[in-house]
């Protein structure tokens, strides 16, 4: 049974600061150029956008950490960055939010960066700076050693945020999950691709409908019955303990063995779903770290996602905004 809103408000308002979470995964910088389309270029048949402002935001695993930090918990981030200007911008953003960044490992690859040009409310162009090759064994071992040290210091939960950019190799995921299992620290995974065997042993996985559909032997519909069947297939085939599926307009479904909870979405005009999955996994993991039940965590995550999808671009929900929808 879902807890009373008053108790949930008390947790978010007063009891998140004692929680310690580590996010491991593909770290990104999202840069937005906002402007107005003024004319067609004489050089080529493309629109000319007059840039009015630029905004740099934390993306990927860094956006998960951003969500956690805004909700007031002790947040650390680990993964790989380049030796470039984009890394410097990202570090400034992390430091400004109080996110511990000593787990960032510099490599020869560029810092993964997505540059978007927005004309009015329409995305005109996206530029990607990235190298998606799997990280070297040496880099992967360094990341696992960092996780091992942080577990020894004390963590309440660990999130693996896999965006398929090379950080979350099978060896890295297996090593981290094994370390967390030995330390009795819950691991929550946001998956990518179809090779979910690398997440074996994780406590929770948080796929969206497209992602969970891709790993099924046959296509499924976005119905409660099909999602339950699909979740149990995932738990059996990939040895993942529980599934929290995000289903767009159909809300969330939490499947834990014989226990199932379907949470309908909160009615909201949707502008952009960018980062909604980051918010879901952040709020859900924070709730688990704070001692709430998985069902309570899923309820809170659903409310938080309703805030994010009403915003344009990558967005992290604040404590005040989450308290606002809990009124």
Task: Say which DSSP state 290 is in.
Answer: T
DSSP states of 217-250:
SS---SSHHHHHHHHHHHHHHH--SEEEEE-GGG
* 255 and 245 Cβ atoms separated by less than 8 Å: yes
Which pair of structure tokens corresponds to residue 16?
């998140």
**How far apart (Å, rounded) are the C-alpha atoms in residues 248 and 222?**
9
Known catalytic residues?
A: 278
List 103's β-bridge partners, or say none: 78
**How far apart (Å, rounded) are the C-alpha atoms in residues 261 and 250?**
13
* 72 and 18 Cβ atoms separated by less than 8 Å: no
Helices 61-70 and 276-289: angle between axes, nearest 10 degrees: 50
**How far apart (Å, rounded) are the C-alpha atoms in residues 113 and 282?**
21
The SS3 of residue 325 is: helix
What are the φ/ψ torsions at residue 266 (nearest 5 degrees)?
A: -80, 130
* 52 and 34 Cβ atoms separated by less than 8 Å: yes
Which pair of structure tokens corresponds to residue 82?
């380049």
Q: Determine if residue 248 is left, alpha or beta; phi over 0 gives left, psi from -120 to 50 gives alpha, anything else beta.
A: left
């Amino acid at each position: 049974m879902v807890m009373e809103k008053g108790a949930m408000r008390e947790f978010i308002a007063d009891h998140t600061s004692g929680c310690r979470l580590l996010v491991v995964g593909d770290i990104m910088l999202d840069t937005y150029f906002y402007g107005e389309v003024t004319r067609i270029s004489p050089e080529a048949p493309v629109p000319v956008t007059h840039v009015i402002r630029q905004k740099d935001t934390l993306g990927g695993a860094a956006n998960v950490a951003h969500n956690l930090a805004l909700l007031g918990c002790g947040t650390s981030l680990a993964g790989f960055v380049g030796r470039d200007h984009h890394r410097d911008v990202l570090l400034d953003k992390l430091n400004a939010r109080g996110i511990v960044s000593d787990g960032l490992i510099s490599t020869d690859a560029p810092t993964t960066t997505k540059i978007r040009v927005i004309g009015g409310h329409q995305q005109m162009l996206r530029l990607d700076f990235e190298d998606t090759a799997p990280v070297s064994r040496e880099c992967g071992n360094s990341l696992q050693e960092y996780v091992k040290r942080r577990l020894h210091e004390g963590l309440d939960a660990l999130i693996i945020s896999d965006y398929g950019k090379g950080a979350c190799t099978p060896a890295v995921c297996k090593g981290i999950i094994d370390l967390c299992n030995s330390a009795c620290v819950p691991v929550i995974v946001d998956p990518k691709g179809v090779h979910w065997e690398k997440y074996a042993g994780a406590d929770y996985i948080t796929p969206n409908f497209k992602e969970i559909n891709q790993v099924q032997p046959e296509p499924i519909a976005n119905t409660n019955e099909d999602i339950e069947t699909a979740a149990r297939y995932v738990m059996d085939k990939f040895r993942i303990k529980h599934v929290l599926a995000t289903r767009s307009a159909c809300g969330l479904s939490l499947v834990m063995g014989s226990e199932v909870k379907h949470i309908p979405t909160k009615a909201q005009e949707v502008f952009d779903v960018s980062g909604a999955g980051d918010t879901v996994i952040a709020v859900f993991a924070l709730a688990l770290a704070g001692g709430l039940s998985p069902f309570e965590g899923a309820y809170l995550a659903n409310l938080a996602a309703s805030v994010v999808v009403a915003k344009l671009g990558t967005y992290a929900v604040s404590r005040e905004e989450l308290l606002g929808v809990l009124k």
